[in-house]
Amino acid sequence: MWENIEVALEKTPLDKLKKKPSEDNLGFGVHFTDHMYLSKWNREKGWHDSKICPYQDFQMNPASMVFHYGQAIFEGMKAYRGKDDQIFLFRPKDNFERLNTSALRMCMPRVPVDLVLKSLKALLYLDREWIPSAPGATLYIRPTMIGVDPILGVKPSDTYLFYIIMCPVGAYYPEGFNPTKIYVSDEYVRAVKGGVGQVKTAGNYAASLYMSEIAKKAGYTQVLWLDACEHKYVEEVGTSNIFFQIEDELITPPLGGSILGGITRDSVLKLAQSWGIKTVERPIAIDEVLAASKDGSLKEIFGTGTAAVISPVGELMYKNETYIINNGETGVLAQRLFTELQAIQNGYGADPDKWVVRVC
Ligand code: COI
């Protein structure tokens, strides 16, 4: 049934095409391309009225369920202008499969992965001039699904919109690839096992804002969340997963239900293993990290994510004490992973697992 979905094409008139921003100062998620993908779902027709169309505002009923009960899921992926000016995606099916896992947990419909990927490729081709070529600049892609029934009773919506918007971006953090300062939250938590911490749903990000603002005011870029029960074990940074190199082991918290299963996280684990580095997915207590920092066995900390790529951590703040990591500098392993990942994503590196998909 899904193979028969038709995708219409409505091009933006030439005189309405936007002026492209300078690649020197793209910021993150502030400029949007000329087109988007849009599809509707209801119980009778499934996905229908699918189209690639001009980037546009929605007119929505103020009672739409997404505004009240938060049925909203999304993905983050990127297109890269790489080798020989070709355009690449990185593990795109994994993103759409993860979106479908999120959909299941949030009582939302699955998207047809192959068709949506095909549509994304067409959208990228249409807006290919928007894909930056400056080093480190990419086109960020945001597939999103929302429940839109105009009904205030609490239940899963019977109607949905799925759309894909795209924006040329630079580094996610103002620091770029330079080490970030991270505030460890010992009071507020992000997610609890059995909840929706492993789901890429809007509410997880809303829940993180209060503590993130406190951290920002104290001069920190991001929050490192601890587990919700004991406030003891490290979870994730919210915009990225987290890795610790202690002695010669690369350690990251396991995917126990409260942590997002990052695609960059998985890629880093596989890359490090292929280089002979011992990787361990296990609960790691903040006290263990800080003890390793004090005795010198903690070599590096870095975050991983689509937006953040590899994000070295230069400082931790926990209970009013600061801990400088790797002299506040980017570590050797973080640098190697960043360089290799970028090489693969841009079509230059060896790609034994076929992570890279050429668009055009
Ligand atoms: C991503 O890394 O793509 C994310 O979705 C994280 C953040 C920008 C919300």
- CATH number reported for the structural domain that contains residue 132 in this entry: 3.30.470.10
| Assigned domain for 354 exists | no
Average pLDDT over residues 260-269: 98
Q: Which among 239, 241, 345 is the best mutation to test ligand 1's pocket, defined by most ligand atoms within 8 Å of the CB?
A: 239
Please check the confidence at residue 312 and state whether its pLDDT lies above 60: yes
C-alpha to C-alpha distance for 74 and 205, rounded to whole angstroms: 11
| Assigned domain for 174 exists | no
CA of 304 to the centre of ligand 1 (A): 10
Phi and psi dihedrals of 29, rounded to 5?
Answer: 75, 35
Strand partners for 144: 74, 163
Q: Residue 176 — pLDDT band, cuts 50, 70, 90? A: confident
Q: Is 172 helix (H, G, I), strand (E, B) or coil?
A: coil
Residue 175: predicted pLDDT: 76
C-alpha to C-alpha distance for 297 and 300, rounded to whole angstroms: 9
Residue 61: predicted pLDDT: 98
Residue 132: predicted pLDDT: 96
Nearest CA to ligand 1 atom 8: 307
CA of 295 to the centre of ligand 1 (A): 33
| Assigned domain for 358 exists | no
Q: Which atom of ligand 1 is nearest to the CA of 29?
A: 8
Average pLDDT over residues 226-247: 96
Range of the domain at 197: 180-345
| Assigned domain for 360 exists | no
| Assigned domain for 175 exists | no
Q: Which atom of ligand 1 is nearest to the CA of 205?
A: 9
CA distances 45 to 49, 222, 321, Å, are 10, 43, 57
Residue with the bigger pLDDT between 4 and 271: it is 271
Number of domains into which the chain is organized: 2
Domain boundary among 144, 169, 194: 169
Nearest CA to ligand 1 atom 3: 76
161 and 235, same domain (yes or no): no
> What percent of the chain has a predicted confidence (pLDDT) above 90?
94
Average pLDDT over residues 35-56: 97
Please check the confidence at residue 198 and state whether its pLDDT lies above 70: yes
Average pLDDT over residues 103-118: 97
Domain boundary among 169, 197, 229: 169
Please check the confidence at residue 242 and state whether its pLDDT lies above 70: yes
Please check the confidence at residue 272 and state whether its pLDDT lies above 60: yes
Please check the confidence at residue 289 and state whether its pLDDT lies above 90: yes
Nearest CA to ligand 1 atom 5: 76
- Closest CA relative to residue 251, chosen from 232, 231, 265, 240: 265
Residue 4: predicted pLDDT: 55
Residue 171: predicted pLDDT: 85
C-alpha to C-alpha distance for 25 and 35, rounded to whole angstroms: 22
Q: Which among 259, 306, 309 is the best mutation to test ligand 1's pocket, defined by most ligand atoms within 8 Å of the CB?
A: 306
C-alpha to C-alpha distance for 282 and 228, rounded to whole angstroms: 17
138 and 55, same domain (yes or no): yes
Average pLDDT, the chain: 95
Average pLDDT over residues 108-128: 96
Q: Which atom of ligand 1 is nearest to the CA of 262?
A: 2
Residue 5: predicted pLDDT: 66
Residue with the bigger pLDDT between 221 and 173: it is 221
CA of 297 to the centre of ligand 1 (A): 30
Q: Pairing between strand 180-185 and 222-225?
A: parallel
Strand partners for 94: none
Residue 6: predicted pLDDT: 83
265 and 200, same domain (yes or no): yes
CA of 204 to the centre of ligand 1 (A): 12
Q: Which of 50-54, 89-93, 173-177 has the lowest mean pLDDT?
A: 173-177
DSSP letter, residue 307: T
Please check the confidence at residue 84 and state whether its pLDDT lies above 50: yes
Domain boundary among 129, 148, 169: 169
Please check the confidence at residue 67 and state whether its pLDDT lies above 80: yes
Identify the residues whose C-beta falls under 6 Å from ligand 1.
Answer: 76, 205, 239, 305-308
- Closest CA relative to residue 139, chosen from 267, 34, 11, 52: 34
